[in-house]
């Protein structure tokens, strides 16, 4: 395959489409396909261009042909769907999803992308209904679509199957296992700070804590705010206990408290990620102050001081976070930082989060990673539909700051991946 040669032809095809000559653009892409039937970008462009020309009915036959040639029919579907979602062509997504028969892999992928399109259009209840249908049907297609073995398809599988609608909160819904006795926070030393001081909270297992806590603490101390920084350390080892003692020795205006918990042997990275929500009720009780829940693998910027002061002075909702605007359901609300008030509404929100997450905590990580974000989307949708007295705020609207203004995510590559996939 002479990629550069065909790429020049595709540049020409895109220019033809940009100038309103859609049929000529599709014809140019098919000439590339005729010359090199394995050139995937040409297949993707041609299929997407058909959809943009209201020709979605032509695409299933293309997918079947590409599957016969390369065995990558599902890849073609998801690439075309992604292209249309990026362009906000929601009607084209609906049309393409509806073009596949129910027995086709395109049908189940279409359920997921139709849900994303409905969510993007602001119809969360319709989106949740489509994700429920995806959840019911996805496992029938694992022999065709590598939902559990290929990273990108695994993200689709988890996003589409983890979120759930009102049935997850019905009285007869599975509440999951009751809280493990070892899950409750045990303080290294009881909190002594006067109640009311804002509290920044991180929860992590010993590996994450040892790796990221010093840098996170340093970024908090640099803010110069009189806050409490609380680290909740799961399954601590000797190194993490020494670090907890060192951090608690004093850091200027910042009081650093630590608590520990011991989770059962089956607990893994998803449980660690969800733990800050699970222990938040106990921390609200202990501190009597608003909480900001954070991922620990962040570096906070000086703008966080603006956010904290703005929220303290303002009329605060029960819960607030960043709405990312993304069309994937378990990526819509950022779990890296969430504000919780001291109100009954915040406590009810946390109870709903616990109820949603607990039945799913012991699932394999290929199935439940991103559970905290899926829970945020599901619980927020439930509250807006069924419990509107719980007030949900957008931190960007409330403070004028974006998540990029407030923190920088740290990505130490292989080390972070190793810590994630090996509890």
Is residue 414 scored above 60 in pLDDT? no
Q: Pick from 184, 245, 182: which is nearest to 209 by CA? A: 245
Overall domain count for the chain: 2
Domain assignment present for 112:
yes
Same domain, yes or no: 9 and 138: yes
Same domain, yes or no: 112 and 251: no
Q: If you write DSSP's letter for every residue of 30-98 in order, what string do you get?
A: HHHHHH-TT-HHHHHHHHHHHHHTT-GGGHHHHHHHHHHHHS-HHHHHHHHHHHHHHTT-HHHHHHHHH
- How far is 92 from 98, CA to CA, in rounded Å? 10
Domain assignment present for 171:
no
Per-residue pLDDT tens for 15-50?
888 888 889 999 988 988 998 899 999 999 999 999
Per-residue pLDDT tens for 370-410?
999 999 999 999 999 999 999 999 999 999 999 999 998 87
| % of the chain beyond a pLDDT of 70 | 95
Same domain, yes or no: 52 and 143: yes
pTM of this prediction?
Answer: 0.92
Q: Are 423 and 268 in contact (CB under 8 A)?
A: yes
Q: Which residue has the higher pLDDT, 423 or 335?
A: 335
Same domain, yes or no: 9 and 134: yes
Mean pLDDT of the chain: 91
pLDDT bin (cut points 50, 70, 90) of residue 422 is: very low
User: What pLDDT sits at residue 5?
Assistant: 65
Ranges 100-109, 224-233, 410-419, most confident: 100-109
Q: Which residue has the higher pLDDT, 114 or 312?
A: 114
Distances (CA, A) of 162 to 153, 159, 423: 14, 6, 21
**Across residues 100-121, what is the average pLDDT?**
97
Which CATH number does the domain housing residue 126 bear?
1.25.40
Same domain, yes or no: 318 and 360: yes
Dihedral, CA atoms, 394, 312, 391, 304, nearest 10 degrees?
30
Domain assignment present for 170:
no
User: What pLDDT sits at residue 204?
Assistant: 95
Q: Which domain holds residue 242?
A: 181-421
Same domain, yes or no: 121 and 203: no
Which CATH number does the domain housing residue 345 bear?
3.90.550.10
User: What pLDDT sits at residue 413?
Assistant: 53
Same domain, yes or no: 131 and 231: no
**Greatest extent of the chain over all pairs of C-alpha atoms, in Å:** 74
With b for 16 or more beta-carbon neighbours within 10 A and e for fewer, the 382-414 pattern comes to bbeeeeeebbbbebbebbebebebbbeeeeeee
Domain assignment present for 173:
no
Q: In what order do the strands lie in the sheet with 186-187?
A: 186-187, 255-261, 228-234, 199-205, 291-294, 333-340, 319-323, 392-394
Tokens (6 digits) for 185 = 């926070």
Q: Pick from 290, 423, 275: which is nearest to 354 by CA? A: 275
Domain assignment present for 168:
no
Same domain, yes or no: 329 and 408: yes
Domain assignment present for 167:
no
Per-residue pLDDT tens for 179-200?
887 888 998 877 776 667 899 9
Is residue 275 scored above 60 in pLDDT? yes
């Amino acid at each position: 395959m002479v990629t550069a040669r065909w790429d020049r032809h595709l540049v020409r095809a895109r220019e033809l489409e940009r100038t309103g000559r859609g049929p000529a653009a599709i014809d140019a892409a098919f000439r590339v396909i005729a010359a090199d039937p394995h050139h995937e970008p040409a297949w993707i462009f041609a299929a997407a261009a058909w959809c943009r020309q209201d020709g979605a009915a032509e695409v299933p036959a293309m997918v079947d042909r590409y599957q016969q040639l390369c065995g990558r029919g599902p890849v073609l579907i998801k690439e075309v769907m992604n292209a249309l979602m990026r362009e906000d062509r929601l009607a084209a997504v609906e049309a393409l999803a509806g073009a596949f028969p129910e027995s086709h892999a395109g049908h189940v992928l279409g359920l997921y992308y139709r849900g994303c399109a409905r969510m993007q259009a602001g119809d969360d209840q319709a989106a949740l209904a489509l994700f429920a249908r995806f959840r019911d049907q996805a496992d029938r297609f694992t022999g065709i679509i590598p939902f559990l073995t290929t990273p990108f398809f695994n993200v689709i599988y988890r996003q589409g199957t983890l979120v759930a609608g009102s049935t997850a909160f019905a009285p007869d819904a599975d509440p999951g296992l009751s809280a493990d006795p070892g899950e409750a926070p045990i303080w290294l030393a009881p909190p002594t700070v006067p109640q009311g001081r804002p509290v920044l909270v991180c929860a992590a297992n010993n590996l994450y804590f040892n790796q990221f806590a010093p840098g996170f603490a340093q970024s908090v101390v640099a803010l110069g705010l009189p806050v409490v920084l609380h680290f909740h350390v799961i399954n601590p080892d000797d190194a993490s206990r020494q670090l907890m003692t060192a951090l608690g020795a004093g850091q200027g205006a910042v009081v650093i408290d630590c608590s520990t918990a011991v989770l059962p042997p089956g607990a893994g990275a998803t449980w660690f990620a969800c733990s800050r929500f699970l222990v938040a009720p106990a921390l609200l009780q202990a501190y009597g102050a608003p909480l900001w829940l954070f991922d620990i693998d962040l570096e906070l910027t000086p703008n966080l001081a603006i956010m904290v002061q703005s929220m303290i002075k303002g009329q605060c909702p029960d819960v607030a976070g960043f709405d990312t605007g993304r069309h994937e359901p378990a990526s819509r609300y950022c779990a890296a930082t969430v504000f919780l008030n001291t109100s009954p509404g915040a406590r009810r929100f946390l109870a709903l989060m616990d109820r949603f997450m607990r039945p799913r905590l012991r699932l394999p990580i290929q199935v439940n990673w991103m559970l905290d974000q899926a829970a945020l989307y599901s619980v927020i949708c439930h509250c807006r539909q069924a419990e509107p007295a719980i007030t949900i705020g957008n931190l960007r609207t409330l403070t004028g700051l974006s998540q990029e203004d407030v923190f920088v995510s740290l990505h130490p590559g292989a080390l972070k991946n190793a810590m994630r996939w090996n509890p």
